[in-house]
A and B are shown apart, each in its own frame.
Chain A
Amino acid sequence: AQSVTQLDSQVPVFEEAPVELRCNYSSSVSVYLFWYVQYPNQGLQLLLKYLSGSTLVKGINGFEAEFNKSQTSFHLRKPSVHISDTAEYFCAVSAAKTSYDKVIFGPGTSLSVIP
């Protein structure tokens, strides 16, 4: 079975400052890793994903994440945040051998960008 931990439930950050949202996972099998964003009163949108290859993954809206297998981490970063980045961010994992693309979500991190 897989599980996901997001250590920070809330992250306040000033506009134009950098931000890092932390994600750790556990799994006994190879996994795919994802970051989703959910803006208020909306569904989920995929920010980026790691399937294989380069451990540095670039996504939409200027976000990137780095996969670290030894530390079982997949932290999300953005060098300069905007007010519009205020949202809930979910890290997620999917086992690499399932046929239903079942995704396990972390508890979420609420990012608040302060003007």
Chain B
Amino acid sequence: DTEVTQTPKHLVMGMTNKKSLKCEQHMGHRAMYWYKQKAKKPPELMFVYSYEKLSINESVPSRFSPECPNSSLLNLHLHALQPEDSALYLCASSQGGLPPYNEQFFGPGTRLTVL
């Protein structure tokens, strides 16, 4: 199984709502990533988890809160978002650990709209 799944596919939320995005992989990968992608732009890295520990936070606002409950699951908790947070949120995973490079596998993304 070389698939990364993401739920939901689409999410519409108000600025006062609390919601969560979910990502799952069963490839035994130990590194997982959240990216944000605006239309016609490249993905921007938000967070990296390595062996279930937060390794990189790319200065993301605290209204985005990541969580890695186990090695297969990655969540992104959303609270008090702004309309400019509307984007495609991509999850990815890789074997992790030391080089050589391990390919990142991407999920299909969650299309988030903040009203």
Contacts and interface: CB of A to CB of B under 8 A. Distances in A.
A99 to B, nearest CB: 5
Does more than half of chain B's interface fall in helix, strand or loop, or is it mixed?
A: loop
A51 interface: yes
A90 interface: yes
Interface residues of B, number: 28
Contacts, number: 64
A51 B16 CA distance: 46
A96 B42 contact: no
Contacts of B40: 88, 108, 110
B104 A101 contact: yes
Contacts of B4: 43
Does more than half of chain A's interface fall in helix, strand or loop, or is it mixed?
A: loop
Nearest to B4: A43
A101 B101 contact: yes
B99 A96 contact: yes
Interface of B: 4, 31, 40-43, 45, 48, 50, 55-56, 90, 92, 94, 96-104, 106-109, 111
Interface of A: 32, 36, 41-46, 49, 51, 88, 90, 94, 96-103, 105-108, 110
